Homo-oligomer: A and B are copies of this chain.
Amino acid sequence: MELEMKDKLQEECGVFAMYDKDGFDVAQITYAGLFALQHRGQQSAGIAVNKDREITLHKDNGLVQEVFSKDILNNLKGTMAIGHVRYSADGEQSVLNAQPMVSRYIKGQIAVAINGTLTNFKELKQNLEQDGAIFQTTSETETIMHLLARARKNTGRVETALVEVMKQIRGAYALVMMSPQKLIACRDPKGMKPLCLGKIDNSYVLASETCALDTVRAEFIREIEPGEVVVIDKDGLRSIKDNCQDHKKAKMCIFEYLYFARSDSIIENMSVHVARKQTGKILSETYPVDADIVAAVPDSGIDAAIGYAEAAGIPYAKALVINRYVGRTFIQPTQEQRTTAVRLKINVIKETVKDKKIVLVDDSIVRGTTCAKLVSMLKEAGAKEVHMRISAPPFIWPCYFGTDIPSKEHLLACNHTVDEICEMIGADSLGFMPVERLHEIVPNINCGFCDGCFTGKYPYDHE
B-binding residues in A (CB < 8 A): 2, 24-25, 28-29, 31-32, 35-36, 38-39, 42, 63-66, 68-70, 73, 96, 101-106, 129-136, 142, 145-146, 149-150, 152-153, 200, 211, 214-217, 262-264, 266, 271, 273-274, 299, 302-303, 306, 309-310, 315-318, 321, 323-327, 329-331, 333-335, 338-339, 343-344, 347-352
Known A-B contacts: A96-B96, A216-B339. Give 13 more (CB < 8 A): A2-B324, A2-B325, A24-B335, A28-B334, A65-B329, A73-B331, A131-B153, A132-B149, A132-B152, A134-B146, A214-B348, A216-B338, A264-B350
Protomer copies: 4
- Do B134 and A273 touch (CB < 8 A)? no
Which residues of B lie under 8 Å from residue A324 when comparing CB positions?
2, 39, 299, 324
Q: List 5 A-B contacts (CB under 8 A).
A: A38-B325, A65-B331, A105-B129, A217-B338, A306-B317
Q: How far is the CA of A343 from the CA of B324 in the complex (A)?
A: 20
Which listed residue, B29, B149, B330, touches A65 by the CB 8 Å rule? Answer: B330
- Do B135 and A215 touch (CB < 8 A)? no
- Do B333 and A28 touch (CB < 8 A)? yes
Which residues of B lie under 8 Å from residue A214 when comparing CB positions?
343, 347-348
Which residues of B lie under 8 Å from residue A338 when comparing CB positions?
24, 29, 200, 216-217
Given known pairs A2-B324, A105-B134, A217-B343, the reply for A349 and B273 (CB within 8 Å) is yes
Given known pairs A24-B338, A325-B2, A339-B216, the reply for A35 and B348 (CB within 8 Å) is no
Q: In angstroms, how far is the closest chain B Cβ from the Cβ of A99? A: 12
- Closest Cβ neighbor of A302 among chain B residues: B318
